[in-house]
Amino acid sequence: MDARVTNQPLLRVEDLCIRFYTLRGVVHALDEITLHVNTGESVGIVGETGCGKSITARGILRLIDPPGRIVKGTVNFEGTDLLSLSERDIRKIRGSQISMIMQEPKMSLNPSMRVGKQVAETLMVHDRSLNKRAARAQALEMLAAVAIPDPGRMSRRYPHELSGGMAQRIMIAMMLVTRPKLLIADEPTSALDVTIQAQIIDLMNDLIEQIGSSVLMISHDLGVVAETCDRVIVMYAGNVVESGRVTDVLRDPQHPYTQGLLKTLPDQVDADDVLFSIEGTVPSLLAPPTGCRFAPRCPHVMERCRVEVPPITPLSSDHDVSCFLHEPG
């Protein structure tokens, strides 16, 4: 564990429920999600596409647009429930104390503004005492910190002139220039090739350690989470099914979904074997299963799994699972 990690929760999310009220019906996107991130800790969220990883991140920052709605829960950040704040007050926290790196950097950058100005403007929005010259100087320092070659020249470029890896470095600079207490990274390397991905991960780790931020890392890549995180949260169809120390969950997974997810990794299969796949498909969140949402695909399903929601069962002080197979007694 990183020496910076404490047992003091910086962020605590409890019973977060998010619904989308569409013409086809109500989408149960998140169902009573509970998680926490301690000071100095890096926590990963993994799961299949559509399991609710990004919606969880956007819910924390109250970035759920209509027809979506947060219908229940609390998001406690340093003792303050973010869901109870006014829009004006939550804007003071977004980008300053909590920053978020989005999936597609070029979609998040303003195409009509030079990238250096965008980094400097991030500073000026959250620190009114800074003038343009001071903000530009700090922006150039941060561009150098993210290994941008010739920061002065690159700062005058527009987003369309950048490669994917360079655009991601600009995004990291924008999100870390305010030295946030919590960084939410939503698939920060998914659009990059493997070589650039490794460079970006190393760069993020170095900067986060220097700044002292806590991290909530969202990824479908278990390798990225294993390299960067202290704990991991496994999500399926809008539910948390397992959570714990990365080493515990990846070496000894206890939920059938986590076990299946790890079996699908190519390095778990011999050259002559067929790749493993979890049978069935992810259920529609317009009409999710009544009981355990993984029940229709679970090889260990019992009758009660189809009608009852399994409670969260602690296996140890750092390892929880939501499955009747581990119910006490």
CB 111 within 8 A of CB 160: yes
Is residue 2 over pLDDT 80? no
Number of C-beta neighbours around residue 259 at 10 A: 15
Beta strands in 78-228 (DSSP E): 80-81, 98-101, 182-186, 214-218
- Cα distances (angstroms) measured from residue 182 to each of 2, 36, 84, 115, 143: 16, 12, 19, 23, 20
d(CA 66, CA 83): 16
pLDDT on residue 191: 65
Mean pLDDT over residues 207-222, rounded? 89
pLDDT of amino acid 56: 96
- Taking only Cα atoms into account, the Rg of the chain, rounded to an integer number of angstroms, comes to 21
**In the prediction, which pLDDT does 104 show?**
77
Q: What is the pLDDT of residue 152?
A: 93
Residues of the chain with CATH 3.40.50.300: 9-97+183-281+314-322
Q: What is the DSSP letter of 94?
A: B
The type of residue at 124 is M
Decide: helix, strand or coil at residue 261. Answer: helix
User: For the chain, what percent of residues have pLDDT higher than 90?
Assistant: 65
Write out the two tokens for 254.
Answer: 């206890």
Residues linked to residue 69 through DSSP beta bridges, in sequence order: 19
List, as own/partner pairs, every contact residues 150-155 make where C-beta atoms lie below 8 angstroms and the sequence separation is at least 24, other chains included.
151/116, 154/115, 154/116, 155/114, 155/115, 155/116, 155/117, 155/119
Q: How many degrees, rounded to 5, is the angle at CA 255 between CA 249 and CA 257?
A: 100
Chain-centroid distance of CA 273 in Å reads 33
Confidence of residue 3 (pLDDT cuts 50, 70, 90): very low
Residue 162 token pair? 């950048």
Asked if 141 and 210 count as a contact pair (C-beta separation under 8 A), the reply is no
Distance of alpha carbon 44 from alpha carbon 234, whole angstroms:
8
76-85 average pLDDT score: 96
Query: What CA–CA distance (Å, rounded) separates 193 from 211?
Result: 27
Higher pLDDT, 205 or 255: 255
The larger pLDDT score, comparing residue 320 to residue 329, is at: 320
Q: Is the pLDDT of residue 106 over 60?
A: yes
- For 56-68, the pLDDT digits (tens) are 999 999 999 999 9
CATH annotation of 9-97+183-281+314-322: 3.40.50.300
Indicate the pLDDT class of residue 329, thresholds 50, 70 and 90: low
pLDDT at 4 over 60: no
**Strand, helix or coil at 87?**
helix
How far is 191 from 103, CA to CA, in rounded Å? 8
Instruction: Tell whether omega for the bond before 67 is within 30 degrees of 0, i.e. cis.
Output: yes
Q: What is the mean pLDDT of residues 70-98?
A: 95
- Nearest in space to 41 (alpha carbons), one of 5, 13, 12, 10: 5
| CA nearest to 103, candidates 164, 187, 47, 174 | 187
Q: Are 323 and 310 in contact (CB under 8 A)?
A: yes
